[in-house]
Every structure is written in structure tokens, then in C-alpha cells.
Amino acid sequence: MDYTHLGRSGLLVSRLCLGTMNFGGLTPEDHAHAIMDAAHDAGINFFDTANRYGGELGPGATEELIGRWFNKGGGRREKTVLATKLYGAMGEWPNESKLSALNIRRALDASLTRLQTDYVDLYQFHHVDRETPWEEIWQAVEVAVQQGKVLYAGSSNFAGWHMAQAQGAAAERHFAGLVSEQSIYNLVVRELELEVLPAARHYGIGVIPWSPLHGGLLGGVLRKQREGLRRLEGRAAETLERMRPQIEAFEDFSAELGHEPGEIALAWLLRQPAVTCPIVGPRTHEHLGASLRALDVTLDASALTRLDEIFPGYRTAPEHYAW
């Protein structure tokens, strides 16, 4: 396993981040615990979760599951760079959502209790809060840092100008601000290249892409359909039909390279500027193994050019749409 710094920070994280959104809902607890152990065995030290995760078990269930895994001991917590998030409502009472100083304090303490730990390495804003001033947000985070409950702060689903706004406010307080941004980014969804990636590179913010296979669309979906292993419905099926020529070309090119489509999609992300590590969300051991194989894939310049031809990206704004 290779490791890299999370943005401009001194924190070293694995080139793959283990996403836990499926744990407790789609993946039973015993299987989830085994997957986390296997991730450690493979050298993955970066785990991502959120206070809202839990699926049908309800918000908080995934953090509780991870907490019980930490409680098994064996250095599990010490070996893990732990990231969680807040923003979504955890209850119906006022101040149980978003980024007020009150909710930051309460949500953080609740997450620490569920996770059975006294600190999180990376505390992330799951969405931009347009109603709370950054002065209030950063003051609350500074208190959490001073208390030893948080080491680093990150964002998720921010626009480039939101990142600039956050960093400007942090600089006025002589505070580090954001070290990471978690966004959807893959061969199909490449809008980040317009402004988010340039902003991340400018401010030294590491990008952590979620949905690297775009809900399985880049994971060999056509072959799996032919083999009766995958059935898409609703929006996913509509997207596949709209992009079928591109997906066919991508799967054919992956076969030419001698790799599975999902391996190529992850390997492409690992080559993109400002990307620290994609988030992989395995439901099974097999899914984890498939993600790990992507680390051994080498894409040369001609392969990268061909992928850009299949899935055209964006130039940095404003040159993409102006002179």
C-alpha cells in the first residue's frame, strides 16, 4: 500500500479510503467487521463514515458498528485515520442539523460516543451551510481542536468558491481551515475539473472522490447484465441507456488493457491532480479485493488520452467556456 499526505497536512493516508456507508444496512455487522480487518491487513488506514449513515437501522447505526469494532482492541483505533461528518438532521428538534456552533458541539460529542473514541482525525462538513457564518463555524471547530476532540477539518460537496470562502475566513483567524474536500468525481461526472480541483490545488486541499464507479456504472455493468448478475432500475437504468455507447467503449477498452472496468476507473482517479484517495464502499470481501487490484494498474499517456476521448472532461474555468 502506498501512502500520501492528506492535502497540505502532515497526515499520511492510504491511496484508498474505506467507505462505510453500506455497513449495518446492506452489509451485516459481522461482515463489516471482517471487511475492516481485511482493509487493515491490506494497509488501508483511512476510514470514512458519517453520523447519518445507518440505512434501515437509522442514523448513527454505522458509527455504532464501527465503535464496537474499535472496542475489540488490537490496535484497531490506533491504526485508523478516522473521518466522520455532520450536517444532516439527527432529530426533529431545532439545532439538530447543519453547522451552528451548538450542533457542531453536540453532533461531535454524539459521534464520539457512538464511535467509542475520544477524538476523530478528520471532521467533515457534509454540505455547505449557507445560513451559518464561517466565523461561527471555525470558532466551534477551533474549540474542538483545543479540546483534543478533532485534529483536522474537511468539507464535502462544496463548490470551489465555498472552499475559497472557508479558507479566507480561516486565514483571518490564523487557523488551518480545510485540509480535504469530499466530492463526487469519476469518469462520468467530471465537473470538479472546472473549479473545485483548481481551488483544491491552490489551497492545498486533498480531494477524496466518492462514487468512483458512479453507482456501478463503471464497474462492468454491461457484462454483468449479460451474465444476469446486475439489474438496473429507475434513474440508473436511464443513465445507462443514455450513455450505453460510452460504457460499451469503456468496457471494451478495459478488456484491451487486460483489466476489469472498475480497476481502470479507480486507477484513472489515482492519476488525477489533487486527488488524495478515492472512497471505495465494499459490501463484500470480493468488492474490497477488486478495489485493491486497481493499485497495481498503470495507465500510460495513450491510455489516459483514450479515456478522455470516451469520457470528455473539462478544462479549468474560465478557459473551458471563454478565452
Q: Is 53 a catalytic residue?
A: yes
Residue written as grid cell 488525477: 272
Which listed residue (3, 53, 152, 314) is catalytic?
A: 53
Asked whether 3 and 34 are in contact (CB, 8 A), the reply is no
CB distance 39 to 14 below 8 Å: no
Q: Are 15 and 4 in contact (CB under 8 A)?
A: yes
Is the torsion defined by CA of 304, 307, 309, 312 positive or negative?
negative
How far apart CA 88 and CA 15 sit, in angstroms, is: 28
From the list 299, 266, 294, the residue with the least C-alpha distance to 1 is: 294
Are 192 and 273 in contact by the 8 Å Cβ rule? The answer is: no
For the chain, how big is the Rg over CA atoms in Å? 20
Q: Which residues are known to be catalytic?
A: 53
